[in-house]
Every structure is written in structure tokens, then in C-alpha cells.
Copies of this chain bind each other. A is one copy, B any other.
């Protein structure tokens, strides 16, 4: 094994570069994973633009598929050479947050065991996986072996967008027969729509402004689509539901407009499940909120992680219940990752997700 590796590092706002870095030493609880496939997330674009600050020199990327290269001295239950994934969120397993059921808000170094987003480490507080190798912390908590029959690309969505999207459906506690609207049909929204269907929704309504995405949505099983570039989505959804409104509205973009529309289509007692990353304060309009007396719920979800979560998501792929293979629209070598960022960052050529192979 070489002593150094190529890695995609954040340099300064507006600049990410492919550089050379030492391959890190493996601590007792760690595993070193050789990346075979990874991808770029919308969050990485925020980092690139400097909208979400990370330390200069940090390796970016949080969606790893790879092969175990080396196991820490205290790690049991795995073998070197095994093909694995790890979630975008890598909880410690031992914080109070984990034991309290909010693993993604893990903060083992803090006084009380949690800090907001604390479980998100790859490409945020430690080196990520747009590189030849990644060091997975708390490996026994986080490494999930990939079933033999599944390709890298088939499980590439599990670490982040599938876990996040499904999480939005799960936290909304969808019941059999619910009507669910999903605002924005990007990768997260598409996964949320699939999760809503999987959880029992009898009608899933997808909303977007891009005709291409609505087409993908239809192909992936969304029942009804609303083109928000042509119609007012609130009016249209109320029309489609004959005034009933929806039981659950999932926000998957992160804007005031979609958040507010999601609230306005909810029936009394309905749940707004928010997945978007907001960059401004949000407003809750009093009329849509029934002055606080409508028995509404607003829930937010950060991508759930951990090996059991990954195992479950891969079992859903394996069963054929969902097929997110079609989300990978473009493929790049790691050497070409700057082109991939350019394409993905500007949403050119109908890109949904890219696959990067070192």
C-alpha cells in the first residue's frame, strides 16, 4: 500500500481541489476503507460555495462504498477484503444522544453527549470519502457488509439520500392509506416519495419546477405530479385531493416557499416532515397554522446512520421494492471529479447523481 492517496479537499470558498494526502494511520476502533465508488451530494456544493464552512484541507464527501483495507486492533466481526458501506452519519454508538434515540446528533466530546449534527463527521469534522481511502471511525458501529448480489451503484444511495428520504417518511409516521405530497423531486425528494410509498401512502404527489424531474418521479412510482412552474402547487394539490388536503407533506428543498406550501396543503392534524437545509429564518404563517390550534406537527430529520440502518436499506434494494439505480445519470473517475463538480453544481444535462470511481 502506498503512503499517500489522492483526495478531494476543500481549499477555500469556491475552490475544491484533487490533491495528495497521507493515508491515515488506523486507530484501535477504526477501519481503513479503500473507496470503490462514491458520489457528490448537494451539501458538498454548499461546502464548495462556502455556504457551509469546513476546515481548509479537509477531504470532502460522505457517501462511501468500498473494501476494508485494514481493521483497527480492537475491531471484531469483520474481515479485511470485505465490501462495505458506511452511512453519511457515523454515530459513535456510546454517546447519550445515541442511547436517547438521536444518533445523528451525537456529541461524545461534549458535556452531555450531543451537539447539533454531531453525528455527521465524514467531510464535515473528519476527512471524507471523495478519495482513494477513508478512515471509518467506530467501525463496529458503522460498517455494513454489502450483500453479494448488489453492485456498488445499487447501494450508493443508501449512505445518504435513501436514508434521509426514507427518514422523512418514517418520522412523519405515515399510515396505510395516507395521501402524501413531496415538495421538490431532486434525489432526496425522490427517495422521500419512494419511502412514503413504501410506508403505506396510497397516493404520493410529487411537486417540482423541472419537467425532467417530474418525469423521473413518474417513472419511479409517484402517483401524481404537479409542475410548480405552471401551476400553484397549493391550489392544485387541494384540487387533486378535492379539498381534503394531505395527511403528510414532505419538504425536500429547503426554502421558505416550499416549507410554506407544505404547511398550506396539510389537513388539520397533519404532519409536515422537513428534510431541507434552510439558509434563512423560516416563517410560519398564522392562517396556515390555524393560530397554533390545528394539531399540526412539524418534524425534522437528519440522515440516520449506523450499520443496522444500512443493512435495512440494502435489504430494501435487494428485495426490489425500490430501484434507485436510475438516479446515477453520469459516471466519472476520481481524476475527473472537478468535471463532476462542475456538472453537478450547475445541474447540467439532467444530472441527478454522479458515480465517482477512484
In the bound complex, what is the Cα–Cα distance between A96 and B77 (angstroms)?
12
Q: Mark the stretch among A16-24, A300-308, A328-336 that contacts chain B.
A: A300-308
Contact of A102 among B268, B280, B306, B312 (CB under 8 A): B268
**Chain B residue with Cβ nearest A296:** B300
Interface assignment of A98: CB less than 8 Å from any CB of chain B: yes
B94/A243 in contact, CB under 8 A: no
A116/B176 in contact, CB under 8 A: no
B294/A297 in contact, CB under 8 A: no
Interface assignment of A64: CB less than 8 Å from any CB of chain B: no
Chain A 281-311, CB-CB to B under 8 Å as 1, else 0, gives 1111110011111111111111000111101
Among residues 29 to 74 in chain A, which have CB atoms less than 8 Å away from a CB atom of chain B?
A: 29, 74
Q: Is the interface of A mostly helix, strand, loop or mixed?
A: loop
With contacts A268-B105, A300-B295 taken as known, whether A282 is within 8 angstroms of B284 at the C-beta atoms is: yes
Interface assignment of A84: CB less than 8 Å from any CB of chain B: no
Nearest-Cβ distance from residue A306 to partner chain B, whole angstroms = 5
Interface assignment of A104: CB less than 8 Å from any CB of chain B: yes
Nearest-Cβ distance from residue A121 to partner chain B, whole angstroms = 14
**Chain B residue with Cβ nearest A309:** B99
Nearest-Cβ distance from residue A261 to partner chain B, whole angstroms = 15
Most chain-B Cβ atoms within 10 A of its Cβ — which of A117, A177, A277, A297? A177
In the bound complex, what is the Cα–Cα distance between A56 and B179 (angstroms)?
39
